[in-house]
Amino acid sequence: MTAILDGPTHLTTDQTFERVHAMARSSADHPALKHPFYELWMSRALDADAVELVAKNYFARVQRTPIRIALAFLHMADVSTRAETVDNLFDEMGHGSAAKVHSVILRGFLETLLSRLRGHGVSLDEVRAPILPSTTRLIEESERLFSSPHPQKVCGALMAQEWHAYPQLVYMYEGVRNYRHLFGLEEFHENCEYFYLHIGATEKEHKVHSLSTAAKSCSSEQDVAQLEEGFTGYLDLLAANWTEIHEAIAAL
Ligand SMILES: [Fe+2]
Ligand SMILES: [Fe+2]
């Protein structure tokens, strides 16, 4: 309250970058990433019903990634942060090739995996696994965060998305390796394109861009506090979603 009455507490560019970088790194210890779901996912192959539940809910959220990035673009003011965000969106949309849109590649992988597990062709649109309430909440609430009238909050949510994505994809890929026996060896790696393109380069660049975008959006303690609200808000939604998925698997 005192800070509001006293006006913005100015931070230098170096101070801001340090603060924002530390915030970004802290995602590694957040329950969105330190989560028992990942331990289970990586520890062993799950049965088809459990994989279907994970696939359905994970895809529902990942499919909306370009929407979140586009909302971020609309709700940030600075021209250089907007340019970086367009670069991110261009990646997500397959550099203009529909077949290379990330969600298209992910759908292909998940449907192949489920088809192998079930022994017949599976379409994600037709599986019985439900979209869990926390998945719907994650999609709706995150789109609110990415549309915030406070550009710092938008940039915080974007930084959370991009900084949690790299370790998340490493964990998801390590878990996917539990199903390698369902594929030929080369075939397995061909099918893992979604993971390799993220782990290999894309997400590393998105981390760098989202960090500079976030740092450029802040020049005061108050800005950093807004950034943190968006950052933590998105990570909390992700953590709650993994918790519900984890509990739903245990209840199967
Ligand atoms: Fe992606
Ligand atoms: Fe990304």
- pTM over cut 0.85: yes
What's the whole-number mean pLDDT along residues 161-184?
Answer: 97
At residue 78, the pLDDT reads 87
What's the whole-number mean pLDDT along residues 200-218?
Answer: 91
- Measured distance CA(79)–CA(170) in Å, rounded: 32
Q: How do residues 66-93 score in pLDDT, each as one tens digit? A: 999 999 999 998 899 899 999 999 999 9
Q: How do residues 40-64 score in pLDDT, each as one tens digit? A: 999 999 999 999 999 999 999 999 9
**Domains in the chain with CATH codes:** 28-250 (1.20.910.10)
Q: Does 158 or 7 have the greater pLDDT score? A: 158
- Measured distance CA(179)–CA(44) in Å, rounded: 9
What's the whole-number mean pLDDT along residues 208-231?
Answer: 95
Amino acid letter, 93: M
How far does residue 123's CA lie from ligand 1's centre (Å)? Answer: 21
pLDDT bracket for residue 2 (50, 70, 90): very low
At residue 201, the pLDDT reads 84
pLDDT for 6 beyond 80: no
How far does residue 243's CA lie from ligand 2's centre (Å)? Answer: 22
pLDDT for 213 beyond 80: yes
Contacts of 75 (CB under 8 A, 6+ apart): 146, 147, 148, 149, 151, 154
Contacts of 129 (CB under 8 A, 6+ apart): 49, 52, 53, 55, 56, 57
Alpha helices in the chain (DSSP H): 2-6, 13-26, 36-43, 48-62, 65-74, 79-92, 102-118, 133-145, 151-176, 185-191, 193-197, 203-216, 221-250
pLDDT for 157 beyond 90: yes
What are the Cα distances from residue 131, in Å, to 32, 54, 136?
19, 10, 7
How far does residue 241's CA lie from ligand 2's centre (Å)? Answer: 19
The candidate with the shortest Cα–Cα distance to 8, out of 243, 225, 236, 170, is: 225
Note the ligand closest to the C-alpha atom of 61.
1
